[in-house]
Structure 1
């Protein structure tokens, strides 16, 4: 249970999502989460600290999601809240449905998005966190034309995100 004093601090001080309240406790209400993305991929930014980066992503069809990449430092975990999520893990594509969980360790190439004709609602957790919200904001700036795609490539080390080629994933029409 969250102490009343922590809730008061959250409401009374206008604390924004991802800010530690007390003793590392983070509380983010549904309406408070910053959202980035387009209609086919909306990402709600929930928490971003040294311990973990957490977001909830909603993908529609094969337009949303992430291309093949890997992380040198972070494990990336997926919990499917609803729908069907396709995930490339190494050289295999697996389908995850509501209630399924997948953890991808550092160094393993992966990609993800909703299955064709489906939607996917996914809780994503990275550990350790590396200030990943700035990466999502960069993607948003590229999407709306305020930054160039080259900035994404140059940000790999900063955000522990390294893109790779995958004929398996590309061959699926992504």
Structure 2
């Protein structure tokens, strides 16, 4: 059993073997990325420092994105509504629904993310880390939108929430 080449229904990733991608405000721990028959999934854990920006407003056309807050608080946009998720809260965002997330104002957050179906998203997460560290041109993210099913949109509600958090 492993997270990249599942030969059965079970997927096991040992904490000591999980790849991490760090940027100045968060650490992603890559847990499982399968495209197994029946849909597969991608799962990773992110720890966000206070003030971490997370992801801008975007949607997926194929995947449902699941959020589970392990600790701390995460500010999220779903559609045009901004809310705070706290430790123990779960959120499911269906395809075509604009959403965004960041550490809630003044808070850290530890969050488990899962996408289903899976589609080899680990390379996208690595790309994000590289851009956040200033190693890769941000244009590479826009160029990868179809490949990784991440479609960025403008959200006045999210921009307003971020402006309030920054003040």
TM-score normalized by the length of structure 2: 0.89
2:108 equivalent in structure 1: 119
Write out aligned runs for 1:12-161 (5 A). 18-20=3-5, 22-50=7-35, 51-161=40-150
Task: Report the 3-state secondary structure (helix = DSSP H, G, I; strand = E; otherwise coil) of the residue aligned with 1:86.
Answer: strand
Q: Which deviates more, 154-163 or 23-32?
A: 23-32
Cα shift readout 1:22-79 (whole Å, capped 9, x = no counterpart): 4132111222111112242111000001110000011112323111000000000001
SS of the aligned residue for 1:73 comes to coil
Unaligned runs of 5+ in 1: 1-5, 7-16
Larger radius of gyration: 1
1:19 Cα deviation after fit: 2.7
Are the counterparts in 2 of residues 80 and 97 from structure 1 also a CA contact under 8 Å? yes
Computed over aligned residues only, the root mean square deviation of the Cα atoms, in angstroms, reads 1.5
User: Match of 1:61, SS?
Assistant: coil
The 3-state SS of whatever aligns with 1:28 is coil
Q: Do 1:61 and 1:113's aligned partners in 2 also have CA atoms closer than 8 Å?
A: no
Q: Is the 8 A contact 2:3 2:11 kept in 1?
A: yes
Residues in 1 aligned to 2:125 and 2:4: alpha-carbon distance in whole angstroms: 17
Q: Answer whether contact 2:24 2:132 (CA < 8 A) is retained.
A: no
Q: Is the contact between residue 75 and residue 127 of structure 1 (CA under 8 Å) also seen in structure 2?
A: yes
The DSSP-based 3-state class of the residue aligned with 1:171 is helix
* 8 A Cα contact 1:41 1:57, kept in partner: yes
Structure 1 residues 113, 61: closer, same or farther in 2, change over 3 A?
A: same
Contact 1:71 1:106 in 2 (8 A): yes
